[in-house]
Structure 1
Amino acid sequence: MNKRIAVVGGRPAPIHGAKELGIDVVLVHQEGDYEQEIVAHCERVVHARIDDAEAIIKVLEPLHRERPFDRIITTTEVAGESTGKVVDHFGLTGVSYKTARLLKDKVAMRELLAKHDLSPVAYRHVTRAQDAITFVKQHGKSVLKPAEGVASLHIHPCDDEASATQAWQALQDADVKHIIIEEYLEGPVVSVDSFSFKRRHLPIGYSQYRMNDKYVEWEVSTPSTEAKKWLKELKEMTCRLLDAVELEEGPSHSEFVLTPKGPRVLESHARLAGSGAPELVRRAFGLDLNRMFLTVPLGIDTLPEVSPEPKAGAAIQFFVPTPGKVKKVELDLKPDVDVRHTRQGETPLVFLPFLFELGQAERAVVIQKHEGDQIPPLDTVADCVSGYVLATGLSREDAVRIGDELVEAVHFIVEPKA
């Protein structure tokens, strides 16, 4: 008999090929928030708010009674805590609410890291402006941000009383209630993508970023040149971190800043990474995290014993045209580039349209803006909506070079905002 799982949310839900693997998938999603073509990979789709554990339990309980689920899993940040509660409710193996909560709440995370003498970073839970002012006086340049923030939203560097007060007020204006201040970590940001099974953690890929002055990542590339200098420490720190939060199984994505004193944890997530990182890992390291997300917990595939060595380089770069109204898009690409366009007038329900279809393309370009569309300023990762380029190369540097060439060959003719 087929294995049966419930997958909560996802844009796209990483369940392509589930039926061929002998897995029956019940997708739990909000009506209108998933792409219709994903339905072909599901046993059925049921509707519920994916951040509401009680609503998810209500739609899954009768199905679980009829034929129990082997796993209930998610790979979307919004559904992390709610899915953890559902996993606990049904008594299943997976990412518990405790683990999901520790990873989401940056104050709880810093407290846990301090308890385990892991990645020392000065921090404070901020409940009033004076907390931030005092912290900056003690530690110098700092970062004030939401303790449960995502997508680089509302991150405010500050280095004196005036900037700390201004940062505090900006978070109040944005109605952010749970706030943390941390010492400013100087150095490049890198990440480690891992997979766990029965609390054995296997670091797999390691990537680095290019970002703007608002800390929005507009390029991801792997294997990270910066990370190689600290690879032993990064792998050890990743495993210690995942042990500390008691991650049982599944994918994880941990980000670090490579400071002059060594790697420091920035944040971690018990899910597949965003921005196409699993596809980059597949291209560079040969392991398919999307497939493993389905197969390793169910015993269909075995978690490898050792981390793979890189066999290539891969990069994804988002287009970041001048904000304004698109007049036209001109392409000057070579014939070997796989080019895709979203439909004019339609907003994709997935963050990276065509990503699965482009799996065999060494060089690909996706255009998501058309004449008359508006290009937003790049304030968060969610603003990376103009399209992207995808490249495989002999090394990370080679893939980045190819990506740069592809971007230079696409011209967004824009009427800037007044």
Structure 2
Amino acid sequence: MAGKYRVAVIGGRPAPVTNAKELGIDVVLVHEEGAYEESVLRHCERVVHAPITDGQAVLDVVKPLHEERPFDRVLTTTEFAGESTGFVVDALGLPGVTEATARALKDKVLTRELLDQHGLSPVRYRQVKDVDDVKDFLAEVGGRIIVKPADGVASLHVHPVDGDADAEHAWQALQDAEVASVIAEEYLDGPVVSVDSFSHAGRHLPIGYSEYRMNDKYVEWEVSTPSRVAVPHLDALFALTPKLLDAVGLTEGPSHSEFVLTKDGPRVLESHARLAGSGAPELVRRAFGVNLDRMFLTVPLGIDTLPETSPAPIGGAAVRFFTPEPGTVSAVEVEDGAADVVRTLPKGEVPLVFLPYLHEFTEVEVAAVISKNVGDVVPPLLTVADCVSGYVMASGTDAADAVAKCDRANDKIHFRTS
């Protein structure tokens, strides 16, 4: 029997479509062959294959299905399919994240332009065309700048620049990486925090707020919520976030916005029209009692209503990625009591989700996953995508307690590399 609702989900991870059938939602998954967990199919009406970043290709497989039985929404959980999903949303005339909004969030130059137009979050920036542009902007700012891809993700190719030699190195590295569009921004000094929100009919509700620990490459290897450092700035963050989302034209669905807490107040770092990565929806569920994965489907369809007010924390949660020394793994040693549950990814298995087994740990206070075996290679931590050695997730009475539990687990799990 067909469900009451029908949605197409483009790419991404399986968690948000779990229990869709029980909610009366038929899900058509559009994904690339071999790029999704087979287990997700039991929650779906069907799967169709297409390159998920190609809007026309996705439309070509979705439109005939829409003509047979219309979709209520076309959605995605992944950054890579944001613009292509928006293309399909526009082509089918459906509510949701438009291609223009997806592009405005992906292209950091457009984001900055829109913020400027709305008088929000003043940050000096410039789209730079060559190394001389970088040097000119550095001189104009008179202090450290950041040079990075305008459409970058996962902290990849982010270069701090303090002088002309740094500018030349950064520009050459970006050219070697074949980065087509480069933005230079003034360096924002202060801790990075994020706000996870949900929107419906143009109303934006900030829900969770997190903070990070990161390395010198700006790779975030720990996320904890609720953020302690954000508390003095919470009113400002909760006021700025809806204005940011209005500026980029977002009216519906989840969003994840990152800010730097400068001496002059919060400044926008970037924002995304999707559920956050690094297990953030599970962190929010543990710390705030709000299920963003469920809301991903139920709020747009009217099954659940968007709460009127932001929730207060009910506890704390954290996820910490293991960060062993780069090299070939010679041993993995786990001390007794490292975590309530410890899982190891079978040797040779390549996970198709960033945090494997996460859905199995909803009732587990401290859970750890070891994703490297003897003989596997640990890469240097140059981007969030290099956080592939495993993780520990914990609940606590507050964020500090959850972080302490993650630290204790990390100290009892030893990767030997050479």
CA deviation vs aligned residue, 1:281-321 (integer Å, no higher than 9, x gap): 00000000000001000011110000000010000000001
Structure-2 separation of matches of 1:335 and 1:267: 35
Matching residue of 1:395: 398
Instruction: Please state whether the residue corresponding to 1:329 is helix, strand or coil.
Output: strand
Write the distance in 1 (CA, Å) between the matches of 2:91 and 2:119. 32
1:332 aligns with 2:338: no
CA contact (8 A) 1:103 1:269 kept: yes
Instruction: String of CA shifts for 1:175-215, please: whole Å, max 9, x gaps.
Output: 11101000000000000000000010000000000000000
Task: Report what 1:409 is aligned to.
Answer: 412
Could you tell me which residue of structure 2 aligns to residue 131 of structure 1? 133
User: What is the aligned counterpart of 2:37 among 35, 38, 41?
Assistant: 35
Cα pair 1:333 1:410 within 8 Å, conserved: no
Whichever residue aligns with residue 90 of structure 2, its letter is D
Q: 1:258 aligns with which of 255, 258, 261?
A: 261
Separation in 2 of the partners of 1:223 and 1:264?
19
The runs of 4+ residues in structure 1 deviating greater than 6 Å are none
Distance 1:62 1:53, change over 3 A: same
Please name the residue that 2:69 is paired with: 67
- Name the amino acid aligned to 2:96: G
2:378 matched residue in structure 1: 375
Cα deviation code 1:71-98 (max 9, x no counterpart): 0000100000000000000000000011
Q: Which runs of 5+ in 2 are unaligned?
A: none
Q: Structure 2: how far apart are the matches of 1:61 and 1:265?
A: 37
Deviation by residue 1:22-67 (Cα, 9 ceiling, x = unmatched): 1100000000000110111100000000000111011111110110
Aligned match of 1:81: 83
Residue 98 of structure 2 corresponds to 96
Task: State the shift of 1:20 in Å.
Answer: 1.0
Equivalent residue pairs, number: 415
1:183 paired to 2:200: no
Partner of residue 111 from structure 1, selected from 107, 110, 113 = 113
2:338–2:409 CA contact under 8 A, matched in 1: no
AA aligned to 1:115 is Q
2:277 paired with 1:285:
no
Matching of residue 300 in structure 1 with residue 310 in structure 2: no
Cα 1:201–1:372 change in 2 (3 A) is same
Aligned to 2:146: 143
Measured in 1, the distance between the counterparts of 2:30 and 2:55 equals: 11
Aligned to 2:202: 199
Q: In 2, distance between residues paired with 1:386 and 1:78?
A: 23
* Structure 1 unmatched ranges of 5 or more: none
- TM-score (normalised: structure 2): 0.98
**1:240 partner amino acid:** K
Displacement, 1:12?
3.9
- Name the % identity: 64
In the alignment, the residues of structure 2 paired with residue 359 and residue 69 of structure 1 have an alpha-carbon distance, to the nearest angstrom, of 31
Q: 2:344 aligns with which of 337, 341, 344?
A: 341
Checking the alignment, whether the CA contact within 8 Å between 1:3 and 1:298 is kept in structure 2 is: yes
Match of 1:222 in 2: 225
Q: Which residue of 156, 159, 171 corresponds with 2:159?
A: 156
CA distance in 2, matches of 1:128, 1:379: 24
Task: Report how far residue 13 of structure 1 moved.
Answer: 5.3
- Asked if structure 1 preserves the Cα contact closer than 8 Å seen for 2:15 and 2:359, the reply is no
Q: Distance in 1 between matches of 2:136 and 2:109?
A: 17
Q: Secondary structure at the match of 2:122?
A: coil
Residue 3 of structure 1 pairs with residue 10 of structure 2 = no
Which residue is equivalent to 1:241?
Answer: 244
CA 1:125–1:335 in 2, change beyond 3 Å: closer, same or farther? closer
User: 1:12, 1:351 within 8 Å by CA — same for their partners in 2?
Assistant: no
Task: Please report how far the alpha carbon of residue 265 of structure 1 lies from its aligned counterpart in structure 2 after TM superposition.
Answer: 0.1
How far apart are 1:333 and its partner, in Å? 3.3
In structure 2, the residue matched to 1:170 is: 173
What's the RMSD between the two structures over aligned residues? 1.0
What is the deviation of 1:334? Answer: 1.8
What SS class does the counterpart of residue 13 from structure 2 fall into? coil
Instruction: Describe the SS at the equivalent of 2:360.
Output: coil
Q: CA deviation at 1:162?
A: 1.8
- Does residue 120 of the first structure (1) align with residue 125 of the second (2)? no
Are 1:87 and 1:94, in contact at CA under 8 Å, matched by a contact in 2?
Answer: yes
